[in-house]
Amino acid sequence: MYPFKFQPILKERLWGGTKLKDVLNKPIENDITGESWELSTVKGDVSVIANGNLAGTSLQELIASNPEGVLGKSVFERFGTDFPILIKFIDAKKDLSIQLHPNDELAKKRHDSFGKTEMWYVMDADQDANLIVGFNKDVAKEEYAKSIENDSLVDLLHYESVKEGDTFFINTGKIHAIGAGVLLAEIQQTSDVTYRVFDFNRKDKNGNLRELHTELALDAIDYEKKDDFKVSYANESDTVNSMVDCPYFKTNFLELSQDLNQDVSQRDSFTIYMCVGGSVAVQNDFGTATIQKGETVLVPSNCNTIRLKTSGAKLLEVTI
């Protein structure tokens, strides 16, 4: 139960680029790679251990071998052997489609899935890059439906300029899109349920328009204008700064200039570190794994101390 690194699961996307290779050193072989799934048990895309004597073992197999030891007792009781979150790096060379995600109730009813609450941490952004997050005013369902019919949806949306370090929390139901020129880390519930509502009339490599989910989205959207998406967080060096604390995950920001020891004996959850700058050796009671910018490590629950050994690193720390 040493700290585990996993083979990245790389995804070609219509809107993808090369920053996953150029900035994060991912082994991509084309210029339209949009996502690197770092930790996943989504069916068909299950992460595989890349380091140590369990290399080649899937995350699902690891959990099955010792559910409470990997996940934590309370996490196992809540989610069973399903890994409850999905971790990604995303490179948007072009604008993503405008989309939203259903809540747990709708997702369970329609897709037998969890909903998809997520957060974004911006790692790199071109000048004038932005995100779409929510509406720019309260919108009636009828007004929204009309905007879909006449291709004027973008006139109702809120655009937010972004820079490195900006962090956003995306509730279920909130309409959103990652804009061109943004590289970010994404933390989300384990779900691949997305309702795409507008795609700028783009065509895929076969010349086809991508599927839209217009009718499914109507009852899933939050039509209110809300300024609840930008996350404010302290950035004190060499300590743990809380970013997001929601029912599905907790995320902290750590900017370290020296080693940090953490007592996690009462945590009762796995711990994930996404390295968003520098490098760090992550050590628990059973071993060590070194990660650099663009890499992720999973520390199982059954340890008492996590030691972070570094002379300079920025980390996102994720637990349940």
Catalytic residue positions, numbered: 196
Distance CA(97)–CA(92), nearest Å, equals 11
Distance CA(188)–CA(219), nearest Å, equals 21
Q: CA 264 → CA 72, 74, 289, distances in Å? A: 11, 14, 17
Neighbours of 75 (CB within 10 A): 21
What is the amino acid identity at position 238? D
Residues, the chain, total? 320
